[in-house]
Chain A
Amino acid sequence: MADLELGATAASRHPRPLSPHLQIYRPMLTMMMSIAHRITGAALYFGMLLLAWWLIAAASGPNAYATVEWFMGSLIGRLVLFGYTWALLHHMFGGIRHLIWDTRHGLEPAEREMFALATLVGSVVFTILLWAVGYFAMGGPR
């Protein structure tokens, strides 16, 4: 412990350099996608309440289910669902990207950028695609 105490005294006399934090770096796509992965994860955490509400309403009866349908069909409900779809897809594509990285592949600078872009573009394209499918499943333009 003696050397540790000596180290502590030396540190207080000569402050050690701090690790640079977020605001030091130029914003990069990989960084943004990393932050988005965490934010979408946290959003999906609370989004599970929507799934629970839907299932509980279906189990409760026609009246409760009609309430859920009314909310999901409203403008706010659709916005929430649209965001939920995007968050789910973004988190899933980001997760696949992380699984690929776990195998030590795709870590070169150009590949990292490509994966980050693919996560973003893929999630947006598939969200719109799914909503188009859902739109036509609902009977299309009426």
Chain B
Amino acid sequence: MSERAQMRTPLGRVRGLGPARSGTAHFWQQRLTSVSGIPLTVALIVIAISLLGRSHATVVQVLGSPIVAITILLFIINSAYHMWIGMQEIILDYVHGEIVKLVSLIANTCFVFAVALASAYAILKLSFGV
């Protein structure tokens, strides 16, 4: 045991021992999605305000038009990944029991997939009008 431990470098010994079991990929991806999230959020706010109080027919027409639909789809995909990493970080910070942590992480993934897929499905349905 002690012989094997001394064969490993200090980095090798600590690698993968963080609560996420991985490195800086999420750190970078969280910043990437935050940068792309800025113009997408501004665009979503503009779209939402311009549709305030409009009739259902107008809303359907605008949301289903290519530029608006693509923008909202990008917002959904970008936000879904950003909030998945963010909530995972919160869970890893505060939930320490192995079972509860595992269940929380699974619930996080399921919630994000469900919300993103439902929103994307709605936008595609509005776009293709089926």
Contact = CB atoms under 8 A, between A and B. Distances in A.
A55 B119 contact: yes
B76 to A, nearest CB: 8
B104 to A, nearest CB: 13
A107 to B, nearest CB: 17
Interface string B80-94: 100100110010000
B84 to A, nearest CB: 9
Interface string A57-97: 01101100110000000000000000000001000100110
Interface residues of B, number: 36
A31 interface: no
Interface string B93-130: 00000000000000000000001101101110110000
A47 B17 CA distance: 33
Contacts of B41: 88, 92
Contacts of B38: 92, 95-96
Nearest to B87: A45
Interface size bracket, A side: 20 to 34
A130 interface: yes
Contacts, number: 83
Contact of A130 (B1, B31, B45, B125): B45
Given A2-B2, A44-B83, A92-B38, A55 B72 contact: yes
Contacts of B79: 48
Which has the most chain B C-beta neighbours within 10 Å: A48, A59, A88? A59
Interface stretch (A9-17, A18-26, A117-125, A132-140): A132-140
Nearest to A98: B34
Given A51-B119, A55-B119, A38 B90 contact: yes
B125 to A, nearest CB: 4
A102 interface: yes
Contact of A139 (B53, B57, B125): B53
14 contacts: A42-B90, A45-B86, A48-B80, A48-B115, A48-B116, A52-B118, A55-B122, A55-B123, A58-B126, A59-B126, A92-B37, A95-B38, A134-B52, A137-B49
